[in-house]
A and B are shown apart, each in its own frame.
Chain A
């Protein structure tokens, strides 16, 4: 049965339709894999076997009736950031202790409406703040990848570390994730999986626990470019409940897979050649350029002059929004309450106990940069810089660039505890954060292994609402690079 977990969504979909096996069998395979592998990886923080079996049963009925929907019977893991009705939803924070929402997020509802099965809730950095999944209240997630010949645990990246680890270890067919500064693409790169952060406004944010409202965007992590295309089609929608979701048609993204990229103009931003980036990252990038050139694309050097300011601007905008978004966690209406002698003490005790160190740091930074006398110097300035970052991209599109190719991360997976300085940790997002700041889509595709045998990713950045082109170009890289799997399954009992 475990063989079923090897299938991509596209393969499972076809085989389910051909009645090679049932949705129940597929779901049981994954539940078995979780049972045997999750202890080592800590990817799931809640497994919803009963719900999964119910949904699989319903899917089998649909398939039998010839009414299969696009994701019929496909078992998914759901990042703990998404509100799932009656099910553990805590963004992996202590402050949301015991919270079970009375509502279903739009994205998960869209997936269920298309027949998807929920296996459980996935670990993540607390409130999606982190690049290594070390900030979760539920403990570190472990990367199924290890350096050649070692047994040292590595981080899966973050914040969607549980999603990336579970997908890479075949504990789900694919997973929902979310990306505020790189939280889909960076863990995808560190685990040899594919992840796309769509255009801001492509997916509804309703029912996603908010981190930074102007940057947060839902997206999938899957094992192939095609699986990402299938999932995004179901996740994306315009939503009357989210004013910032955009009313643009959702194309059938799978149609872009396999289309020629001949004549496409691919931009190579010179500012992404940064000091201190390992040689092998640079080499990987050159390899990617060569593949696309070979496939008939025109490669042009472009300039995105404000690239280096994206990360510092991000570390003003995101914490500022977060400091306000997280004010609702006050021990009054849900989650943790730590008593105090008066209301202020109750707030202070609750928030001191409920938030982890990284969350506190960001709330503090955000509170400070918005406070009287500092708003103009920090927040307003950062939002102006953001305008410049977006203009950089607009200029590239105006010059006829169809997509931009960059590395996804400055390095491969590292060991937990290896990076202790917050700013060094933030540098993980240096290549991904620009897409969030400009609202444009970005996708990470595994493209090779480093000298230690760890996966590395390349990033494609696209025009607003032109995710189709990313799937089209991404699949070319995937075809050229091949797919990457951990060399041994060490995590299953």
Chain B
């Protein structure tokens, strides 16, 4: 197959300590992402999740004698789009092959896949690690293939039940290069890939429904040494489990090697209850898939013009968005990362920020809104406060109608009760007092009651804050803090 090239410099921070010294983990991932489409890759049956057994199955999906595949053009477009999103080369001609093996949930006795000539070639995924490290993970290829059906083993004491609803659903298999060096990077890779797919709308990324699964190839070696023998952990269905599976598997392999053993190249399963990987018995026999071009299908061909047209229509992707937020809005990379992690998050933010102070908007979105959503276990799409309402609160602050503190109260009211923020401010008398006459009375009173402190303040201007606080408290937060501060300075004699 492909020549393995090591693109990374060994980093001691990622090493695992063993009895005989440091070990480095080498990870490559094969992600199966279900293509977002109405119908299956080669049939007109529905792709919907959770239907009755064998209800989303056509004669083609059940491999009835004489049935033939006809490709769904939307699945092709989705694969091209994903390839563009991964900044990968798009192959104008690709070929579908048959991968032959017997399994009850594989009705044809072969899976239609792309082996030698995939639709998408090499690309790249950029990771911003929390540590600030920038990691580039190469994408080897992306190809289209059919999903298998599902065997249920817990319905009957001696029989397995086979449901072909998933059989023939379009998958994109996205294969990374062995460029990943620790569990955190693997998790970041999956997260980033999922973000990109969701931005593109080519896969919903719902791992709990199986629309995204990862096969993780793990090997260990002495830092910078030759690649070791790898084990493939099949079908890991959460990002957290990917991390756990890698940690376990790496230590297992190190244990074997340090005891003088050898690693068997094999397929393993991750048991999320025990937190362990174990050998898959059914996949033990030597693979000989006998790939050959599917004679029922012609080569898949399309024009560069189609690719160009799709490239022009591509949405802004997380990396570009992040760069723009930092450059145009002055956001920190950290804040920008939070916002671009999900398409819905940045959509919410951009609605709030539109025509407003983006930095202030980012604060309110990240700290107040997302913080609160997180606490309550909600996601952005079910936020009790809309981007429009939050925008209006920010407008009220900017116009000086309310203070920042009142704004927090107003946010709370809108969150729990809803309503138009401006109206609430009006109805409940929350407007900030900017009338200097009204403020002066309070300021004078406070100064009169605290002459000693006023004297000290002349020496220690830092005490001004205490006075501002007292005035704000007396005004129930409605005084304009800037006006209060200015007046206090003048009266105490600070300049």
Contact = CB atoms under 8 A, between A and B. Distances in A.
A206 B298 CA distance: 15
Interface stretch (B104-112, B210-218, B325-333): B104-112
Interface stretch (A10-18, A250-258, A368-376, A483-491): A368-376
Contacts of A330: 102, 104, 109
B100 A324 contact: yes
A344 B290 CA distance: 18
B307 interface: no
Given A324-B100, A324-B290, A96 B65 contact: yes
A205 B292 contact: no
Nearest to A320: B292
B295 A213 contact: yes
Interface string A329-342: 01011100000000
Contacts of B71: 243
A332 B298 CA distance: 29
A99 interface: yes
Given A102-B59, A324-B100, A328-B108, A243 B65 contact: no
Interface in A195-245: 205-210, 212-214, 240-244
Is chain A's interface secondary structure helix, strand, loop, or mixed overall? loop
A212 B59 contact: no
B153 to A, nearest CB: 11
Nearest to A105: B66
A330 B290 CA distance: 18
A328 B63 contact: yes
B67 interface: yes
B63 A333 contact: yes
Interface string B41-68: 0000000000000000001001111111
B62 A333 contact: yes
B215 to A, nearest CB: 21
A328 B295 contact: no
Given A212-B295, A371-B288, A328 B107 contact: yes
Contact of A243 (B63, B66, B98, B296): B296
Interface residues of A, number: 44
A334 B62 CA distance: 10
B70 interface: yes
A367 interface: yes
Interface in A80-104: 82-83, 89, 91, 96, 99, 101-103
Interface residues of B, number: 29
A209 B68 CA distance: 10
Interface in B80-124: 98, 100, 102, 104, 107-110
A343 B106 CA distance: 13
A206 B67 contact: yes
Contacts of B70: 240-243
Contact of A370 (B62, B102, B160, B290): B290
B257 interface: no
B297 interface: yes
A466 B465 CA distance: 97
A101 B69 CA distance: 18
A379 B292 contact: yes
Given A210-B65, A333-B107, A244 B288 contact: no
A213 B296 contact: yes
Contacts of A367: 290
A327 interface: yes
Nearest to B43: A241
Contacts of B162: 332
Nearest to A373: B288
Q: Report which residue of B59, B107, B109, B290 has the largest number of chain A beta carbons within 10 angstroms of its beta carbon.
A: B290
Q: Report which residue of A207, A208, A209, A344 has the largest number of chain B beta carbons within 10 angstroms of its beta carbon.
A: A207
Given A83-B65, A101-B65, A370-B100, A327 B108 contact: yes
A381 to B, nearest CB: 13
Given A105-B66, A334-B64, A243 B298 contact: yes
Contacts, number: 100
A140 interface: no
Interface in A294-324: 320-321, 323-324
Contacts of B295: 212-214, 321
A465 interface: no
Contacts of B110: 324, 327
Contacts of B298: 243-244
A320 B295 CA distance: 11
A323 B104 CA distance: 17
Contacts of A214: 295
A365 to B, nearest CB: 12
Nearest to A368: B290
Contact of A89 (B62, B65, B102, B297): B65
Contacts of B290: 323-324, 367, 370-372, 375
B66 A208 contact: yes
B208 to A, nearest CB: 28
Contacts of A212: 295
B66 A207 contact: yes
B123 to A, nearest CB: 28
Contacts of B66: 82-83, 101, 105, 205-210
Contacts of A103: 59, 64
Q: Report which residue of A102, A205, A242, A328 has the largest number of chain B beta carbons within 10 angstroms of its beta carbon.
A: A328
A347 interface: yes
A126 to B, nearest CB: 13
Contacts of A105: 66
Contacts of B67: 206-207
Contacts of A328: 63, 65, 107-109
B292 A324 contact: yes
Interface in A3-37: none
A205 B102 contact: no
Interface string B285-301: 00010111001111000
Contact of B68 (A99, A102, A241): A241
A82 B162 CA distance: 27
Given A243-B69, A343-B160, 18 more contacts: A83-B65, A89-B65, A101-B66, A103-B59, A206-B68, A210-B65, A240-B70, A244-B68, A321-B295, A323-B290, A328-B107, A328-B109, A332-B162, A344-B102, A370-B292, A371-B288, A371-B290, A375-B291
18 contacts: A89-B65, A101-B64, A102-B59, A206-B67, A213-B296, A244-B297, A321-B295, A327-B102, A328-B107, A328-B109, A330-B102, A332-B104, A333-B63, A343-B160, A344-B102, A370-B100, A375-B291, A375-B292
Interface of B: 59, 62-71, 98, 100, 102, 104, 107-110, 160, 162, 288, 290-292, 295-298
Which 10 pairs of residues, A with B, have the shortest CB-CB distance?
Answer: A327-B109, A370-B290, A213-B295, A214-B295, A328-B63, A207-B66, A209-B65, A372-B288, A213-B296, A328-B109
